[in-house]
Amino acid sequence: MAKPIAAGAALSTLPSLSSSCSELNKWKPLNSNTHFHFNCNRSLNTARLSVRAMSSSTSVLTQDQLKKLAAEKAVEYVESGMVLGLGTGSTAAFAVARIGELMKAGELKDIVGVPTSKRTAEQAESLGIPLSVLDEHPKIDLAIDGADEVDPELNLVKGRGGALLREKMVEAASAKFVVIVDESKLVNGLGGSGLAMPVEVVPFCWKYNASRLQSLFQAEGCEAKLRMDGDGDKPYITDNANYIVDLYFKTPIKDSRAAAKAILGFEGVVEHGLFLDMATAVIIAGAEGVRVTTK
């Protein structure tokens, strides 16, 4: 059985996904104590690259370190001159940091970032990454972001960090969208984690919409709750001055496409956290290493 990736594994030097299986397995990492084996499975709709690493080292990477490796793998898709969608959240922050490092080292040049939240903009600015908005750059080459849930078809739940509207706008405008998660985010059906699926709503009569949303998913045992701020004494306010109603499901959503359409049919709903048919690739960090799944 493959072991977790050990410290020193040089994932940043991995070959590209376009390499053949035979080419991949000829590849040798910089660290001579580390061995990688690639299992390539091809089907009509999905190409999967599984990465396993074994080392004599007893130092095993933490979950955050695995996320960082996955983020750095995602940044391998970045090329000089690109317009990038910069995601929001702890995992996406690793990718933004890596982009900043490569720009400072001169390995990436002429990058423009389109941030998906105010806090991502602040991080990018601190790293010297030039920023823009969709008004100025309506076509984005690549977006990199995390996700809260990923189903077998690479559909996502996103937005528990509160940035779902801007994330969806930026990522929908991107030619490629690379998602970074850890394996705990994998579900058989969206809503299956039992954690929040966010819906951004206008503050006006939010209770009315919360009630309608809960009734919409009665079959899934849905409970709708207004998201509160860190102190819990007032509603959480998004970057767009809206509220978030979090939906909690006892069972997965039966038909996510029908659900997405129905949610947006409610007046006063701004956006929902179902990101369907948007991901180009999902990079998954887990106890046994990092794997990349593409559509």
Q: In the structure encoding, which two tokens stand for residue 42, read together?
A: 């091809």
Q: What are phi and psi of 214, to 5 degrees?
A: -65, -40
Residue pair 181/283 in contact by the 8 Å Cβ criterion? yes
Kind of pairing between the strands at 197-201 and 269-272 = antiparallel
Residue pair 73/283 in contact by the 8 Å Cβ criterion? yes
Residue 9 CA to residue 15 CA, distance in Å, equals 14
How many other C-beta atoms can be found within 10 angstroms of the C-beta atom of residue 138? Answer: 10
Residue 269 CA to residue 93 CA, distance in Å, equals 28
| Residue 167 is among the residues annotated as catalytic for this protein | yes
* Residue in 167, 171, 200, 220 annotated catalytic: 167
Active site residues: 167
